[in-house]
Amino acid sequence: MSVNTGMDKILVPEDYYSNYNFKDKWQFTPTVGVFAQYHVDGSIIGVEGGFSYWQKASQLVYNDNKELNYKVTPRYNYIGVSALLKIYPWRKGFNISIGGRAGANLNGKGISYESNQEDSKFANYHFATVAETERLMKEKLTGQPDIAVGGGFGYEIGNHWALDLRYFHGLNSTIKTERNDYNWAEHSTHGQNIELSISYLFKL
């Protein structure tokens, strides 16, 4: 699961008007990877590193007292590397991990837009079409590489299976606002990911 807070400050950077609200919604996101782990039997310390693919996504929902609503959904794909220090308090099984990851953004224009702005009741406002608004967002709001710190808890079952729950917090802004004429402003947008993974382990 993933969320990306701060996008409301990009689209409405100042108090231009009132009687509206924004809401950030978590989105389900996949992740898959190949990792190498080193942990000597009976040791408290282990390490893990590898290559993985993951997504960062969020949905910003806008509503106002004129019944205008829209949804902005950035969904970016990443491929990169991670490194984690693992601590085994009881020397096997349960472990605590801490570390980070960094990845390249594969689709910097991965943003979508939905709205009822083309309804006849908004005709006097002369809004752009939904398709044109989405095109402008893809042009001016660009997804960035991901650098994140994180950690979590895991449990290794027997010799071949592991279950991990981890949280990652982005250190850099997820979205860069390009120069534009629409009052969209640059603002920090730090992504958060919660990931539940199942791994199959084998010895090399």
The pLDDT tens digits for 12-27 are 877 667 789 999 999 9
3-state secondary structure of 41: coil
- How far apart (Å, rounded) are the C-alpha atoms in residues 32 and 37? 16
C-alpha dist (Å) from residue 132 to 73, 91, 118: 16, 58, 11
- How far apart (Å, rounded) are the C-alpha atoms in residues 159 and 201? 7
pLDDT at 35 over 90: yes
What tokens appear for 63 in the block? 């509503």
pTM above 0.85, yes or no: yes
- How far apart (Å, rounded) are the C-alpha atoms in residues 153 and 170? 19
Residue 135 contacts by C-beta under 8 Å, 6 or more apart in sequence?
A: none
pLDDT at 195 over 90: yes
| Share above pLDDT 70 across residues of the chain, in percent, rounded to a whole number | 99
The pLDDT score that the predictor gives to residue 159 is 84
The pLDDT tens digits for 47-99 are 999 999 999 999 999 999 999 999 999 999 999 999 999 999 999 999 999 99
End-to-end CA distance of the chain: give it in Å, rounded.
32
pLDDT at 101 over 90: yes
The pLDDT score that the predictor gives to residue 172 is 96
The pLDDT score that the predictor gives to residue 16 is 66
Name the least confident of 9-23, 137-151, 172-186, 189-203. 9-23
The pLDDT score that the predictor gives to residue 12 is 87
The answer to whether 6 and 24 have CB atoms below 8 angstroms apart is: no
Half-sphere exposure in the Cβ direction for 165 (13 Å, CA): 2
- How far apart (Å, rounded) are the C-alpha atoms in residues 140 and 153? 38
C-alpha dist (Å) from residue 15 to 8, 11, 20: 12, 11, 11
The answer to whether 128 and 136 have CB atoms below 8 angstroms apart is: yes
